[in-house]
Structure 1
């Protein structure tokens, strides 16, 4: 059973529980139970009294009372890790005997004891529970979406031995993401020095236990408001400095200005709204050559007053390396548009130009119900452009400091990056008058049609010189006609993806000793090269298809490459089922990609049909004919 299936099973079993407890209690109950289930993995961190044994929960006459006793004992025995609110967690949540027993039984089923079951599965289940409950509750308290964590960590690019700090942690997700990023590239966890500060103690407990579930035992999580009560203070009384700062601060929090006592927090000014105060805290916490990545609401990029002065000071000192506009609906519970600031340490700022790389990535999202999702292909494109500091038309631009200063230091991307070309080009006047599709418009779309093996001149009929006629059958069912013409190419592409997968499956067994990121890059290149021969899809789309598939299935793919019988490897039956599932997922994604291409071509054809099917000359002829008939009818009725 893969972790997604495990989470689904737990999700269904806890359906009643979700309706009875608030958002804060539900994930904490699941977290406490996951910790209890995996206590043998954490004996070096936790004090474990007799009441915490899992077999006692399984045999208890009252599962609720046994669970309450176990969680209370866990909190009481580990006060440096777990806050006192956990002591009453079960009894205050109104969990019944039946519900507690169901949860215990489900966890016992999906996480059986045994050396072959990786502890990573427990951590992955908790991540997915947090994600799903945040979506369902529409709460903003669930932390940073995993796709955003992955983007932020890629932008920060932490290296082995770095110190990484999150001043506004909710559940430890950003430090965990940083550790995973380095582990994927080196094969080693625990090579970073991780630090975090939570606003309140329950969040601090969740972060410590979540880090522990991920096998991270060297992290420090303290509690307090990072602006008014920063906890990481040097012996000299200054803020500690870190190589990387990753932060998703609470939105629009108010600041009691008299409580801001650290001078570095007001270096560029003081604001009663905390958004840019958290940015100043991140800057003050950076080592001289450090990198900070902070999520901010878009308003701080252009508002005047105190925020405008703070922004101006940071830009004058060259502390802002990049601004990445991500748009709306990326976070549960709010439609506020957000951006990401990439910050420089003081030393890096002095050694750099004050130019700012602006990236408008608002279109680089996948819309899903009421949420926008930053897919792996989108994060790849954004990170690549950032690290190369490259300029891409309608997407990114390196803006000189002088230009920013001339626009009152606004960092709104729309002030510097032109929107992409309009989907509908200007209509051809002669074609509107006399009819027909201009050959020039058709030739401009030749490459896009070629992706699906379609030559538009084969279905558009010859017309007067320089024009083609739009056939009636195509006008009546554009989408169906395009799908029929694209079917051979779509079938061939999906078949080529299947052939590649068979080669991939055989080779995956031979790369178990390499870091996961190296393996991913290796297979991404192979996928691109293998599919390039069977399609004219551009490299970016092919690599994007692979990345979305790989990252979605990464946990399973990582287990599939492990030798049979080794720790973390799938049992034979589960292995075969998983191989089939990831194969079908890749094929489905390949079909969706080709379907999206078909939709784009259908839209192009529909524009031609709507615009040029009836010319003004045709309409005039019809008007004359209707007028003639009306005149004749009036004459027949005796009207002169």
Structure 2
């Protein structure tokens, strides 16, 4: 096996080169369905070879070197990367067969991990294109010696971001600004051995950030228990691959609708609770089962039932119900509307009275991916320190954002300033303010930040409601329109190629 260390720049060029092969054949938003599984398949094949080579040095016997205990994943006969490379016809069908066989051979770890790409569709992926793609990936050996897990994981994250850039706002469901995720993780301070949950996990970036944080601190990370659920099947598969490629073998990623059918329950059928919850729920979705939530079997309607047009407080209540009653803390990314919209006033009042809200952090524009909207992070804590009980910290960090090359992010100084204010939990002129629950009651339980932070940007709250709601509706309609156009173009292309 060749041993040639792959630099981060070389890795990024190698990964993005696969997208170049596909450009013009399929919609950019669909690249991920094909490239991520092939990267993972190449990786496990090369690592299998690496493990085989190491075992041969011990046993000097081919059969013993292929024993399951010498490999993290089983690869059945005929299902290695080289077996795919030797095929010149019906390549997509061969790939699909190999992927399903590997999933079946690893029932405890890999079922469904390769997703549901339409590999057998020659109109979409002709053999010539598949051969080019296979040869492109064959140009590097993705062994652990060549590419340690953290570095390959970082390359995967790079590819996720590139796909988000390339496919525009339709990529929202699988990418959250990483600098913001890092800040949210810092605020919650996950510890070794704790459980971490993301109910709308996308590609698993928030879960991975908790592992990265512990690694950076030199703390034990392997006993962190990670749980995530994702509605989109293909995206949930990418999340599982993402965890594996970061060296995380004990993650639990479930596919399904968190509101309708939450995946993680305890032995009594109640919602499982967690030490840490990180989440970026979909914004103000309208297509959700409000009727079922009215009589929710898991008791997630403790604050009330959200309006049909906005499921934000359904996710909010799901998260609150998922917190361990002693150690539970959460950081949730929302649009500002949840702080003051009239239609959610009763829900917000119940939220405030629960004394779960620890901090309301207002951030600058552009941290929602490919959207000009300003973001807000709300942290919850099930058991507040006595000095913070009955109080909420408001932080106005709207100016703590950097924008370069059409991308917004939080640099280290921004993150430090925000984290220090959060940690100190005290008034800071023009930046942070502590309010009692009685003071919030005096403001009709509104959590709009300018009502509390003196010197914060003046806000026409009533006007903001209409603007933010219109923006959310526009983004939803645009995404649906883009999807419809892409579907029509795919059909037309298929007709032309017949």
TM range (shorter): 0.7 to 0.9
In the superposition, relative to structure 1, how do residues 408 and 303 fare at CA in structure 2: closer, same or farther (>3 Å)? same
1:298 aligns with 2:298: no
1:375-394 matches, within 5 Å, as 375-394=411-430
Change (3 A) 1:194 1:88: closer
Map 1:277-356 → 2, pairs under 5 A? 277-288=314-325, 289-305=327-343, 307-345=344-382, 347-348=383-384, 352-356=388-392
Equivalent position of 2:33 in the other structure: 28
Give, in angstroms, the shift of residue 143 of structure 1. Answer: 2.7
- From 103, 106, 115, the counterpart of 2:145: 115
Q: What does residue 144 of structure 1 align with? A: 176
Distance 1:354 1:196, change over 3 A: same
Please provide the CA RMSD for this pair.
2.8
For 1:366, which of 388, 402, 410 is the aligned residue?
Answer: 402
- 2:447 corresponds in structure 1 to 411
Which residue of structure 2 aligns with residue 259 of structure 1? 292
2:164 aligned residue: 134
Cα distance change of structure 1 residues 407 and 89 upon mapping to structure 2, 3 Å threshold: same
Matched length:
420
Other structure's SS at 1:115 match: coil
Assess, with a 3 A threshold, how the Cα gap between structure 1 residues 262 and 246 changes in structure 2: closer, same or farther. farther
User: Which residue does 1:71 correspond to in 2?
Assistant: 99
Instruction: Find the partner of 2:274 among 217, 238, 242.
Output: 242
| Equivalent pair of 2:19/2:35 in contact (CA under 8 Å) | no
Could you tell me whether the CA contact under 8 Å between 1:72 and 1:88 is conserved in 2?
no
TM-score, length-scaled by structure 1: 0.61
Give 1 or 2 for the bigger CA radius of gyration: 1
Q: Which of 1 and 2 has higher RCO (CA within 8 Å, sep 6+)? A: 2
Once residues 240 and 114 of structure 2 are traced to their aligned partners in structure 1, the CA distance between those partners, rounded to angstroms, is: 15
Q: Counterpart in 2 of 1:48?
A: 75
The TM-score normalised by the length of structure 2 is 0.77
Shift of 1:383: 1.8
Bigger fraction of residues in helix: 1
5+ unaligned residues in a row in structure 1: which ranges? 423-640
2-structure distance, mates of 1:152, 1:321: 13
- The 1:170–1:10 alpha-carbon spacing in structure 2 relative to 1, beyond 3 Å, is same
| In structure 2, distance between residues paired with 1:414 and 1:181 | 32
The answer to which of 398-407 and 108-117 deviates more is: 108-117
Paired with 1:421 and 1:296, the residues of 2 have a C-alpha distance of: 19
Would the alpha carbon gap of residues 418 and 64 (structure 1) be closer, same or farther in structure 2, given more than 3 Å must change?
farther
Give me the whole-angstrom Cα distance separating, in 1, the residues matched to 2:319 and 2:113. 30
Alignment equivalent of 1:178, drawn from 203, 206, 210: 210
Structure 2 unaligned residues grouped into runs of 5+:
1-5, 49-67, 459-498
* 72-81 vs 207-216, greater mean Cα deviation: 72-81
In the TM superposition, residue 85 of structure 1 has moved relative to its aligned partner by: 8.0
C-alpha spacing 1:343/1:182, structure 2 compared with 1 (3 Å): same
**Deviation at 1:187?**
4.6
Provide the C-alpha distance between the structure 2 equivalents of 1:421 and 1:206, rounded to a whole number of angstroms.
40
Q: Is the 8 A contact 2:229 2:253 kept in 1?
A: yes
Q: Secondary structure at the match of 1:35?
A: helix
The answer to whether 1:166 aligns with 2:194 is: no
